[in-house]
Amino acid sequence: MMTLNLPPIEVRTKNVNGKQKIWDFLRCRFVALTPEEWVRQHFTSFLIHERGYSPTLMANEVCIELNGMSRRCDTVLYSKDLTPRMIIEYKRPDVRITQRVFSQICRYNLVMHVDYLIVSNGMEHYCCRMDYEHQAYTFLEHIPRYEEIGANR
């Protein structure tokens, strides 16, 4: 797998029937090692080790129902009262972050109604804060630390 624009991590991998698997520490199991999963594992590690997020308040592959169809948010961060606060969407490193990608995460947010949205392909990372009062969002210059997002409620 390629080097990302994220701090390196130690990974546990294994080969199962000719397919590479990587240990997902949030789901506590081995999952298929895809380029998107490589980004997910690096990004969640970055949030925990560099930005102070609690792994006990994060979940991968969170199921939601959108327009009668089952969808999955790649990662969701919760506040201490288990209110969803952030949705994170991952793409393979060779996938450009476009408006279409943001539209996908915005549709998920119609259900989750979170305060922050992040999209990352491992090379580029975009974070925006939702402003529901003005029906807008503001892109931030950095990924906020946990204490900056007010998730301690």
CATH number for the domain that contains residue 38: 3.90.1570.30
Let me know if residue 103 belongs to a domain.
yes
* Structural domain total, the chain: 1
Let me know if residue 29 belongs to a domain.
yes
pLDDT of residue 31: 97
Residues 88, 107 contacting (CB under 8 angstroms): no
Give the residue ranges of the chain where pLDDT is below 70.
Answer: 151-153
pLDDT of residue 48: 96
pLDDT of residue 104: 87
Let me know if residue 6 belongs to a domain.
no
Q: Which of 66, 67, 87 is nearest to 78 (CA)?
A: 87
Let me know if residue 7 belongs to a domain.
no
pLDDT of residue 67: 83
Let me know if residue 4 belongs to a domain.
no
